[in-house]
Amino acid sequence: MGGFIAQELLRRHPERFSAAVLVGTNPGGPDTTLGPRWVQRADSDPDAGLATYLRTNYPRNACAQAAGEAFLERLEDAVDSGRYPVSDVPASTYDQMVAAEDPWLESRANLAGLRDVEVPVLVIVGDQDVITPADNSRLIASAIPGAQLTLVTGAGHSALFQAPEATASAIDMFLDGGAASANVASGCGERAFQ
């Protein structure tokens, strides 16, 4: 949902941006590539739990699953120390987020509006993202003039958390005005979701 909101803000309030990074999102409209039905169901289930999060957000190989578990440990430590708030999304808010997806997927307005974005944009996606497949990021990057695309090889939907150093490096290069790497390695190269 964060990627949808960021795109809306880019279109509606471009004066508030000097640059933007979009990660693992889709452009909306009928050209959006959806993940498999099982992933859509799991992603829309507020009670899915951590095992489902690992199954949907990280490729199903030992390396990627270990990276997901390491992220969950970092998150737990951050919450326990007070550096990050406890996540407590009311059921009504979650239901509204899920309900907002259908209108987003039915409208071409966002994709058409991305052609008017004038700030530098970096689009990042895991090449094995089954929640928002990489074709969506390619479509977004091709719609935004001058946008850069970085594929995180061997990564799923949580590419930022699976490969934090590699993605941070790409983002830093982009924000410093340079060209981000077109491909960065997650360290987990084997294909999993076939």
Query: In this model, does residue 133 exceed pLDDT 80?
Result: yes
Instruction: Report yes or no on 191 lying in a domain.
Output: no
Q: What is the structure's pLDDT at 190?
A: 52
Task: Please give the residue that has the higher pLDDT: either 123 or 182.
Answer: 123
Helices 62-81, 49-57: inter-axial angle, 10-degree rounding: 130
Alpha-carbon distance of 153 to 186, in angstroms, equals 6
Range 167-174 average pLDDT: 95
The answer to whether residue 58 sits within a structural domain is yes
Is residue 192 assigned to a domain?
Answer: no
Share of the chain above pLDDT 70, in %: 97
* CATH assignment of the domain containing 81: 3.40.50.1820
CA 75, CA 5: separation in Å to the nearest integer? 23
In a domain, 66, yes or no: yes
Q: Which strand (E) or helix (H) includes residue 150?
A: strand 148-153
- Residue 157 lies inside a defined structural domain of this protein: yes
Judged by phi (left if over 0) then psi (alpha if -120 to 50, else beta), residue 28 lies in: left
Q: What is the pLDDT of residue 181?
A: 84
Which pTM value belongs to this model?
Answer: 0.90
Host domain of residue 180: 2-185
137 CB contacts (<8 Å, ≥6 apart)? 22, 24, 25, 123, 124, 125, 149, 151
The answer to whether residue 96 sits within a structural domain is: yes
**27, part of any domain:** yes
The pLDDT tens digits for 44-76 are 777 888 999 999 999 999 999 999 999 999 999
Number of domains observed in the structure of the chain: 1
